[in-house]
Amino acid sequence: MWGTIATGLFASTAINAAGPNGLFYGNPLLVGIQALAVIIVAVFAFVGSYALLRVINVFTPVRVNAKEEDAGLDISQHGEAAYE
């Protein structure tokens, strides 16, 4: 995320003549575009991950039940005690 936003801050036509300047070189629009891109990608990743976890949860539970969680996952999942 920082790298994407930093591109909007530090981009310079002195380095890449084909690209635009960033905020520090007189183009505040580029940092806005880069920040919007970060937000769009974060929302896409969240929605995609949530949808995949919901589909996986249909076939196999993603979370253990409360009784197994209280007993400890070492015992309920592996049949071993981690601590005495």
- 29 CB neighbour count, 10 Å cutoff: 12
Token output for 6: 């930093």
Give residue-wise pLDDT tens across range 35-54: 999 999 999 999 999 999 99
The pLDDT assigned to 50 comes to: 98
Q: What is the pTM of this model?
A: 0.74
The pLDDT assigned to 77 comes to: 84
pLDDT beneath 70, residues of the chain: none
Distance CA 49, CA 12 (A): 35
Distance CA 78, CA 80 (A): 5
Three-state secondary-structure class, residue 18: coil
